[in-house]
Chains A and B, each alone.
Chain A
């Protein structure tokens, strides 16, 4: 359950953004969460429902989560493939010389606020 810790960090970032832009109320927060980020969107939303009540700035803010697909690039054959289906070994050529291109994100993309 590291989702609660993540919510605490999101809130801290939002508080500093609000301060910089003189915002008093956030209506929604949109996150980008990678498929292999080890974050469970449902847990994240649950933690958000619990935690937002404690902070007036985000008390009524909805959380939107956009799941980013995980894609791995193979150094050997220079092709890409879906990470979740094949893991670290390239399904095209069998190489282990692969690295994740996208899919481990945990970003705050945008907020609606006043």
Chain B
């Protein structure tokens, strides 16, 4: 005989619990985990490469590249000389806390101050799943348009820092910074917004400063 059991549980509950547990461990380990999200082609890998080159002499960096398939991003990042591993999501469009844990275990966090997770390129699914990262950073590139906060609100709500990339291409596109900023802050008043060009280097210093400060604060254990 079947019986009815009342469950009343949020589906994301176990993932959120796992993510919180991981943040605790990262804290104890003095490792800062940054989750980088964006749509495909916004310049995640180029931004990362440049960031790693700028910071690798002052902190120990490890990168986890998550993709559905292939290792092209991991190959590109490995040119910088930092530790990098490739995670395959097996068809899944995002990483969750469990998969991130497996990645961290494979990479090892003992000798890492800044661990970076390059999430699957997608503005929808990665926003739903807490990876256990200390901070979520997202990139929106100028060609994608200033209306993205209207279309993908959750991604803008769960992120702490927004990099608006490809400012060198501004003259070719109708991207309204003011409108974009307003839309983002309506969803998330705390969001730090930094316009950058990972290609020319414009704005990158401000981004490095923000990241440095986050890593320093977390790893100081305060």
- Of chain B, the residue at the smallest CB distance from A14 is B7
Is the CB–CB distance between B91 and A109 below 8 Å? no
Q: Give the size range of B's interface with the partner.
A: 20 to 34
Asked if A76 is at the interface of the complex by the 8 Å CB criterion, the answer is no
User: Using a Cβ cutoff of 8 Å, how many contacts connect chains A and B?
Assistant: 76
Nearest chain-A residue to B187 (Cβ)? Answer: A88
A111 to B6, CA, bound (A): 7
Q: Which of B14, B128, B154 contacts A12 (CB 8 A)?
A: B14
Question: 1/0 per residue B106-128: CB within 8 Å of A?
Answer: 00000000000000000011001
If A38-B154, A106-B10 touch, does A5 touch B94 (CB 8 Å cutoff)?
A: yes
Q: Which residues of B contact A17 (CB under 8 A)?
A: 5, 7
Asked if B55 CB lies within 8 Å of chain A CBs, one says no
Q: Is A55 an interface residue (CB 8 A)?
A: no
Q: How far is the CB of A91 from chain B (nearest CB, A)?
A: 17
B179 on interface, CB distance cutoff 8 Å: no
Bound Cα distance A12, B91 (Å): 19
Name B residues whose Cβ lies closer than 8 Å to a Cβ of A. 1-15, 91-94, 96, 124-125, 128-129, 154, 186
